[in-house]
Amino acid sequence: MTTSQASLMAENTITPDHAELDVSGASLRVKGKHILAIVAHPDDIDFGGAGSVAKFIKLGAKVSYIILTDGTRGSEDMSISASQLRLMRQEEQRNAGKVVGLTDIYFMDNPDGALQNTPEVQKPVVKIIRQLKPDIVITTDPTYVYDVDTGFINHPDHRNAGQIALDCVFPFARNGRSFPELLEEGHEIHSVETVLINNIAKANFYVDISDYLDIKLEAIKQHVSQYDDFENIKKRMTARAAQLGERIGVKYAEGFVKISSQR
């Protein structure tokens, strides 16, 4: 633990309308806020942030998801058709959403495994950002390509989803000259205050999910098409949450890179 993390823990306690604190000591108020997660696949947000989402909702936030792809490459079982898999995974994501208390989910149905950062993909995302006017956007990290230590190679859709989300937050959602037809249709420009990027290696913001790990695991469990051995996933996710928790002196945590336009 670094000195700044230690002093942070000593100086700050979590108040009912605040989430965990970032390493600079600034807190993130979530009560009454609208939070939008923008990710590639059904299950991405549950693995990366369902504990935080459940906590934010409990603290009074409203949370929605945009799932950018149709999830049709997410199974090695070749006996399931793409259209069956699409419906199955949407249903699993809805069930996981119910577990955390989600407001709504937008399925964008871009082809899984081929997500590209194009105006065609961006425009409906910009439209939803302008309609929902989220204060906080959660997404994956466009710069996270691989991890030498674990041998992990990140899925290109996860990188592209992060880039799409960031580009839509800035500049497109707040710039009237981007997709001018949206403005003509009455979708006023909107500035997102804070972006939380799922990257535990570079995290500067942690959410204490000690009371929410069970909910996170229950949300992940809903993605039945995505695992053979849930106990193994449970072990892995619990170990990861404990490892992140250790960084801020709590039992379990999730970690994000926080970018705030108000800092």
Q: Using CB atoms, what's the residue nearest to Zn ion?
A: 41
- For residue 187, give Cα distances in angstroms to 103, 128, 130, 168: 21, 9, 6, 14
Indicate the helix (H) or strand (E) that contains 21: strand 18-21
**Nearest distance from C-beta of residue 26 to Zn ion, angstroms:** 30
CB of 61 vs Zn ion, minimal distance in Å: 23
Q: Which is nearer to Zn ion, 5 or 154 (CB)?
A: 154
Give the integer Cα–Cα distance in Å for 108 and 92: 16
Q: Residue 89 or residue 187: which is nearer to Zn ion going by CB?
A: 89
* Nearest residue to 118 (alpha-carbon basis) of 87, 73, 177, 161: 161
Count of residues that interact with Zn ion, criterion CB under 5 A: 2
Residue carrying the six token digits 């459940």? 54
Nearer to Zn ion, 127 or 158 (CB): 158
187 binds Zn ion (CB under 5 A): no
The per-residue DSSP string of 178-191 comes to SSHHHHHTT-----
Scanning 18-26, 43-51, 93-101, 231-239 for contacts with Zn ion by CB under 5 A, the matching segment is 43-51
For the CA atoms of 145, 249, 205, 254, the dihedral, rounded to the nearest 10 degrees, stands at 60
Q: Which is nearer to Zn ion, 74 or 134 (CB)?
A: 74
Q: Which residues pair with 34 in a beta bridge?
A: 62
Candidate ranges 44-52, 89-97, 162-170, 244-252; the one touching Zn ion (CB under 5 A):
44-52
- Residues 251 and 183 sit within 8 Å (Cβ to Cβ): no
Query: Cβ closer to Zn ion: 61 or 67?
Result: 67
Q: Cβ closer to Zn ion: 19 or 137? A: 137
In single-letter form, the type of residue at position 226 comes to Q
Reduce the DSSP state of residue 105 to 3 states and report it: strand
Which residues in the 129-148 window bind Zn ion by CB under 5 A? Answer: none
- Beta-bridge partner residues of 107: 67
In whole angstroms, how close is the CB of 42 to Zn ion at the nearest point? 8
CA angle 100, 141, 238 (to 5 degrees): 45
Question: Of these, 8, 36, 41, 220, which contacts Zn ion (CB under 5 A)?
Answer: 41
Look up residue 140 and give its amino acid.
T
| Nearest-approach distance from CB 136 to Zn ion, in angstroms | 21
CA torsion 209-211-215-220 (nearest 10°) is 40
Q: Which stretch binds Zn ion (CB under 5 A): 38-46, 113-121, 194-202, 226-234?
A: 38-46
- The answer to whether residue 44 forms part of the interface with Zn ion (CB under 5 A) is yes
Nearest-approach distance from CB 96 to Zn ion, in angstroms: 13
- Please, which residue, 77 or 181, has the CB nearer to Zn ion? 77
Does residue 112 belong to the site contacting Zn ion (CB under 5 A)?
no
- Interface residues with Zn ion (CB under 5 A)? 41, 44
